[in-house]
C-alpha cells in the first residue's frame, strides 16, 4: 500500500519522527489553515511535484486561493492531485537523503546521502561517491559502527540527534511493516533533523498492519469525497476500435497490458475506455454507458480495476447501478483488487458478475467465453 505524503507523516508521528506541522485540505475553497507564509503541497502518488508546479509557498490570501485552485485541479505525470497538504515553512540549513528499503533487494538496506532534495537515481548516476548503502540485520538493527559511518558520510555535527533519528526510522520500517521508508529531504532545521518529506510503502502481507491499513483507507474518504468538476468532465478517454471485446480500465498502463494479453489470447478489442486514474461511481457509470451504447454487437466486456487511488466498492456500485437500470445481455468479466476489494467483490457477486483478482485468469475466462459464443 503506497501512502500519500500526509499519510506517511502520520505514520512517522506514530514513531516520534519529527515532521513539520501540517493540515490536509481537500477543497480549493477551504479557509487558510495556518498563518502565512506556509507551503502548499500536492498530494499525488508520483514524484516530481516541485518541477510540475505542485509545491508553492503561500505568502498571502490571494496566493493561497490561486495556488489551491491550480494545484488541486492539475495532473502530475498523468496522476490527478487528490488533496493539498498545507505545511509550516521551514528553512533547512542542510538537506540529506535517508531511506530504508526492501524493494529490489534481498536484505533491508539503508541508503543515505548528503545530497538531499534531489532525485536519488540522479545522484547515484552523477555522484555515486555521495551515496552510502548499508545492509541492516533485521534482528539487531543498525550496529554502532554503521551509525558512525553514516555520521561521517553526512557530516552531521550532532551525532546523538542523528542516531536517535536512525533508531526511529528503522523502528518505523520494521514495526510499521514497511517495504520502503524514504525521507527526502531530511532537513537540518535549527540544528535538529526533521522529516520534511515522506514516502512510505506498507507491505500488504504484513498481518500486524491490517488495522492500520484499514484506518488509512478510511481516512482517504475525505480525499475521494470531493472531485473538481473540471477533472470529472475530462476524466474518461474513449477510443473506438474494431473487435469482439470491449474494455474498460481505470488506468492507461493497466489498460495497455490488458490489450496485449487479449491480443495474445487471439482476441480483438472493439473499444478502449480509460477512466483516468482517480474516479468515482459516477465515472464508472458513465464508462459503462459509453462502452455499452457504442458496442451493440460486442461479445463480452472486460473491466480492469486496481484499488490504489480508487475504491473497489465505489467502482462496483457504479457498474452494477448501470446494469440495473439497463438491460445488459453482454457477459461482463471484472478484475478488481486493492482498496476495499472485498466489499467490491461482494457487490459484484450479489449482482451475478464474474469477478477475478488475477488479470491473466480474467483474460483466460473471457477468451473461453467469447470462443463459445
Q: What percent of the chain has pLDDT over 90?
A: 64
Radius of gyration of the chain (CA): 23
pLDDT of amino acid 228? 43
Average pLDDT, the chain: 89
**63 and 186 assigned to the same domain:** no
Final residue belonging to a domain, choices 203, 225, 250: 203
Q: Measured between alpha carbons, how far is 51 from 123 in angstroms, rounded to an integer? A: 17
Reported as a single tens digit per residue, the pLDDT across 67-93 is 999 998 888 887 778 899 999 999 999
**257 and 358 assigned to the same domain:** yes
Query: pTM to 2 decimals?
Result: 0.62
pLDDT of amino acid 238? 82
Q: Measured between alpha carbons, how far is 22 from 5 in angstroms, rounded to an integer? A: 11
**75 and 165 assigned to the same domain:** no
**348 and 253 assigned to the same domain:** yes
Domain extent at residue 78: 20-91
Cα distances (angstroms) measured from residue 331 to each of 167, 255, 336, 352: 54, 19, 16, 10
Return the C-alpha cell found at 32: 487558510
Q: How confident is the model at residue 253 (pLDDT cuts 50, 70, 90)?
A: confident
Residue 8 resides in a domain: no
Reported as a single tens digit per residue, the pLDDT across 107-120 is 999 999 999 988 89
- Count of structural domains within the chain: 3
**356 and 253 assigned to the same domain:** yes
**306 and 253 assigned to the same domain:** yes
Reported as a single tens digit per residue, the pLDDT across 328-368 is 889 999 999 988 899 999 999 999 998 998 999 999 999 99
Final residue belonging to a domain, choices 35, 69, 91: 91
Q: Measured between alpha carbons, how far is 127 from 179 in angstroms, rounded to an integer? A: 25
CB 102 within 8 A of CB 179: yes
Residue 232, pLDDT > 70, answer: no
We report the CATH number of the domain holding residue 59 as 3.30.1490.20
Amino acid at each position: 500500500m503506497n501512502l500519500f505524503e500526509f499519510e506517511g507523516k502520520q505514520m512517522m508521528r506514530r514513531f516520534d519522527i519529527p515532521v513539520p506541522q501540517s493540515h490536509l485540505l481537500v477543497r480549493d475553497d477551504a479557509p487558510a489553515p495556518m498563518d502565512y507564509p506556509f507551503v502548499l503541497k500536492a498530494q499525488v502518488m508520483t514524484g516530481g511535484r516541485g518541477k510540475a508546479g505542485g509545491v508553492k509557498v503561500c505568502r498571502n490570501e490571494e496566493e493561497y486561493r490561486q495556488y489551491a485552485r491550480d494545484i488541486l485541479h492539475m495532473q502530475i505525470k498523468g496522476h490527478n492531485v487528490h488533496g493539498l497538504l498545507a505545511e509550516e515553512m521551514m528553512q533547512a540549513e542542510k538537506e540529506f537523503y535517508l531511506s530504508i528499503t526492501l524493494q529490489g533487494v534481498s536484505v533491508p538496506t539503508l541508503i543515505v546521502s548528503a545530497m538531499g532534495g534531489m532525485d536519488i537515481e540522479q545522484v547515484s548516476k552523477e555522484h555515486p561517491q555521495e551515496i552510502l548503502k548499508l545492509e541492516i540485520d533485521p534482528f539487531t538493527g543498525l550496529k554502532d559502527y554503521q551509525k558512525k559511518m553514516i555520521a561521517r558520510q553526512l557530516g552531521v555535527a550532532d551525532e546523538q540527534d542523528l542516531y536517535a533519528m536512525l533508531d526511529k526510522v528503522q523502528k518505523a520500517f520494521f514495526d510499521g511493516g514497511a517495504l520502503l521508508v524514504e525521507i527526502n529531504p531530511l532537513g537540518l532545521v535549527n540544528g535538529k533533523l526533521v522529516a520534511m518529506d515522506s514516502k512510505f510503502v506498507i507491505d500488504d502481507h504484513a498481518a500486524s498492519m491490517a488495522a492500520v491499513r484499514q484506518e488509512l483507507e478510511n481516512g482517504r474518504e475525505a480525499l475521494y469525497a470531493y472531485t473538481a468538476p473540471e477533472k470529472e468532465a475530462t476524466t474518461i478517454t474513449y477510443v473506438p476500435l474494431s473487435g469482439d471485446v470491449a474494455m474498460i480500465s481505470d488506468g492507461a498502463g493497466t489498460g495497455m497490458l490488458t490489450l496485449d494479453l487479449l491480443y495474445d489470447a487471439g482476441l480483438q478489442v472493439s473499444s478502449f475506455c480509460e477512466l483516468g486514474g482517480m474516479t468515482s461511481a459516477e465515472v464508472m457509470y458513465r464508462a459503462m454507458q459509453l462502452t455499452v451504447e457504442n458496442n451493440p454487437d460486442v461479445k463480452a466486456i472486460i473491466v480492469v480495476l486496481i484499488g490504489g487511488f480508487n475504491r473497489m466498492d465505489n467502482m462496483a456500485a457504479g457498474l452494477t447501478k448501470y446494469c440495473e437500470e439497463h438491460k445488459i445481455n453482454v457477459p461482463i468479466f471484472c478484475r478488481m483488487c486493492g482498496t476495499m476489494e472485498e466489499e467490491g467483490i461482494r457487490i459484484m457477486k450479489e449482482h451475478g458478475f464474474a469477478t477475478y483478482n488475477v488479470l491473466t485468469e480474467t483474460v483466460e475466462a473471457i477468451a473461453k467465453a467469447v470462443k463459445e459464443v
